[in-house]
Structure 1
């Protein structure tokens, strides 16, 4: 409870929802308090069920079945409940105790009922609660050994029909469907617990297929079906551990599952079954995995399975072979192999693979930048600084960007050869500027590189000769204002002119910022009267823009 505050609620909901939640305090009803949760009904456009969780390491959280809440947001109804809880914080311990007392009284009452009385009560409930009736029907079918009946009911629970409009389950209905699918998984687990693990394996595999088919038609943005799939995978594993099926058959099923179309949801890992498969099953699993990979060396699932088995067996050469069979053109796979070899304590081989990645790349401009970074780091550690410079130079020539220029500069400075490298790099950028090639932010990269070198005079000259983006001119004017006030003034006036024809507070902020810079220039030039006249003319022309005039007044303009 200590972590629940108004500030926490505002952070969870956002300022707008928090303020709107204040207006719903009078329509919170039916508050029930548990040890670390509070539930209530909040009457908005409709009646919404709201639950606020107070415990947990992540702090307060909540769920609401309003449309906004179903999208995973902390809505205004949750805010209203949270504020209600804060208002009643003094009485919460008493309410919790009352809830425990009621639960104990209910348990004592139920314990005192006869079998016939309990049956009457249960029958009343299953008449009113369809979900409870389905769960109990599953239990009954399981207890009677009616496998066909259990299978039929599981199929019903996994059928999207009752939740789908036009054949698709929308987000608002996905959680209800997931809850129902979860009942099917629970029923399969009950079979294992009642000594019928072999049947549980059969039904779990059918459920995997049905759920995988269903998820294609469900908006599972909330991840509820993903959790059901994980639970189903665990249920299948526990059933296999209990029933101990034929290891070779299990190995074939696992490989087929991983390579098939149904693995995305359950994400079954064959290595989790190693204790069930034993040596015979693992042998078959490895043989089938190798056969599948040799038949399709570029298949993602085949590569994943082979890599998992190779890593589990500590066979680094097999892992490398899997990656080497499908090398990316940009050297990324070479980098993956290099990291694997580094982890295996084979750095020399790792370096050779990384160098191959650069040498074998089809397009030097597309080489994975992480691969180049890796090689430069290795060269630096080995005191091969000229090699790092060569690599950064090639990278810059292939992809002339400001980051590539900065990386070349860092490498060349480390190797004590930056002046010569800079001259060559700037020569390339001057050629680009002459062709009017744009840089990383719209203007010639030459200007950005010179600015990054803190060579303002050279950057100004390059901009004057080859043109520049307004962003570049503004940076130049800001940097040169103290020593070149007249030049800076011309830039500021040019940039301010189009803003006078626009509206909006963001525009006014930009214009006022430029006016302050213009004022500084006039002060440096000793022409404050010219600035005063400029401001008077501007105020007259912009007199209808009250927000602009107010902002100018706030800044003494």
Structure 2
């Protein structure tokens, strides 16, 4: 059934953003090979390369877009998608007819194929195989998987996982990862076909090699959208399926699994030892437990060893004390591990010991940034429950000294107000801590100083203005102060707005134009408060004359009555 378009130009602009939308407008003439089918719209857009674009409308009228340009492969609705969408909107009246024609072509092709003889279809397939090497490789692999020679399947699977044809300077960039992923997906299909064809024992061995090959190269592949991770998961699932069918030697399987899971290169999959419980049986599980315990004893600070030991204890219903021992063997300097231990103890119904471990985490903290924030929250919450409010203030004060920030300031303020000690030396000392790390010459604050943010948060705007005047504020903070104090100090606020307008004169783009208009509106409000509207009119006219070549800016100013 054909249907009209369910998206508009505004939808394209919203999905792409103003910048990509404007760029897409310039690519309308670059759209070719447009095909509008009932399920999808496909086209090629010539940019720095020839990019393939697909737009899909769902049943609810939503629109999704995919493009194989680097920006599109990151999951963005890119300028090429915009260009295709605009071209389609430009011929919206003919869309139902184009969709009907596409459906007719598909039906015609299906009818023609069904009418061919076996020999004619074979000739057609062979003709395609001669021209399409990738198709040939995929079909070769499927033929091998359906045949008797597991060795051929092994060779082709490992070849499909070879990253060298896609690597540039030893690394598969994101733009090439999709091509590699499409190829590697065939390896998963082949392994499952091996199991389905009654050769699950061979599938187990080939899957092991495949997992190890991908593990060695996974760190050399750009996989920001998780495609290669999905393939690794598929290989792991194919291995488990094969094991469940083949029932390999349980002890040897346990040894391979533990060895694989302890290998630091094999972090592409989330293989869980206990998913193999049925395959391993009691003998295999016993061997796995012995190997995990031995590995952890030999290297208690190893991440894999520690994780496996923890997983082993939880799966077996081990004691909380054994879990504490595992975690205590490698305590994080900021107390995070102490918090993990406290959580385990509290879950086990031992809150007193839990708090003791959390307090120990605070005492043993050696991190320059102070204790873990969640650890502090844990301790303070338990102190509050016990009515130990003065202890909460002490913890928050220590954090303020170790990690002066707006969040630390707010936490201390809340705690001190509960004890009635905030207004006085507590607040003064806290502000001094912020001032000590906020000096511009320290170079530590790139987003303005926490001193000004704290004063604004306190609504102590006059003191905040003075701190800004002394050099502690960035542009964002100056604008916050100007907006908050505009009614009381219109002349000072006006100076801030004019100062922020100047650099925008040299910028282009929708966001810069909207920001300029907002600042001009604020400046006009200041002039009105000062009774100097004539000065603003002169300033505005001068700015328009200076910027008159920016037609989009002129339109934005008109929209805002400027």
TM-score (norm 1): 0.79
Deviation at 1:12, TM superposition (A): 3.0
1:46-82 deviation digits (Å, cap 9, x = unpaired):
6543333334899533333445545544334433444
Q: 1:50 to 1:492 in 2, by over 3 A?
A: closer
Find the aligned partners of 2:298 and 2:110 in 1 and give their Cα distance: 63
1:90 corresponds in structure 2 to: 96
- Name the residue aligned to 2:458: 453
Report deviation, 1:240. 0.5
Larger Rg: 1
Secondary structure at the counterpart of residue 256 of structure 1: helix
Q: Against the structure 1 CA distance between its residues 179 and 363, is the aligned structure 2 distance closer, same or farther, given a 3 Å change threshold?
A: closer
Q: Which residue is equivalent to 1:426?
A: 428
Native 8 Å contact 2:30 2:47 kept in 1: no
Q: Which has the higher contact order (CA 8 A, sep 6+)?
A: 2
Q: Give TM-score scaled by structure 2 length.
A: 0.78
Question: 2:201 maps to what in 1?
Answer: 198
User: What SS class does the counterpart of residue 62 from structure 1 fall into?
Assistant: strand
Change (3 A) 1:61 1:496: closer
Once the two structures are superposed, the pairs formed by residues 15-30 of structure 1 within 5 Å of their partners are 15-19=18-22, 21=24, 24=28, 27-29=31-33
Deviations 1:322-365 (A, max 9, x none): 22211111111122223334444443333222222112223585
1:287-341 deviation digits (Å, cap 9, x = unpaired): 2111111111111111222222223333344333322211111111122223334
- Mapped contact 2:479–2:497 kept (Cα < 8 A): no
Aligned mate of 1:244, from 230, 233, 247: 247
Question: Structure 2 CA distance, aligned partners of 1:241 and 1:166?
Answer: 40
In 1, the alpha carbon distance for the partners of 2:541 and 2:35 equals: 62
Aligned pair in 2 of structure 1 residues 362, 155: CA closer, same or farther (>3 Å)?
A: closer
Are 1:25 and 1:83, in contact at CA under 8 Å, matched by a contact in 2? no
Residue correspondences, number: 538
Q: Extract unaligned runs of 5+ from structure 2.
A: 507-511
Matching of residues 263-302 of structure 1 within 5 Å: 263-302=266-305
- Whether the aligned pair in 1 keeps the contact of 2:41 and 2:55 (CA below 8 Å) is yes
Partner residue, 1:381: 385
Instruction: Report the counterpart of residue 413 of structure 2 in structure 1.
Output: 409
Name the CA shift for 1:104/1:341 in 2 (closer, same or farther; >3 Å): farther
Alignment match of 1:185 (pick from 171, 184, 188): 188
Indicate how the Cα distance of structure 1 residues 230 and 391 shifts in structure 2: closer, same or farther if over 3 A, else same.
same
Corresponding residue to 2:115 among 109, 112, 131 = 109
Secondary structure at the aligned position of 1:29 is classed as: strand
Q: Secondary structure at the match of 1:39?
A: strand
Which stretch shifts more, 83-92 or 268-277? 83-92
Question: What residue number does 2:340 align with?
Answer: 336
Structure 2 partner of 1:504: 505
Cα distance, 1:264 vs structure 2: 2.1
Aligned to 2:311: 308
Give 3-state SS (helix, strand or coil) of 1:298's partner: coil
Could you list the runs of 5+ residues in structure 1 that have no partner in the other structure?
none
1:81 to 1:109, Cα distance in 2 relative to 1, 3 A = farther
In the alignment, the residues of structure 1 paired with residue 50 and residue 464 of structure 2 have an alpha-carbon distance, to the nearest angstrom, of 65
Indicate the residue corresponding to 2:133 in structure 1.
130
CA contact (8 A) 2:24 2:82 kept: yes
- Root-mean-square deviation (Å): 4.4
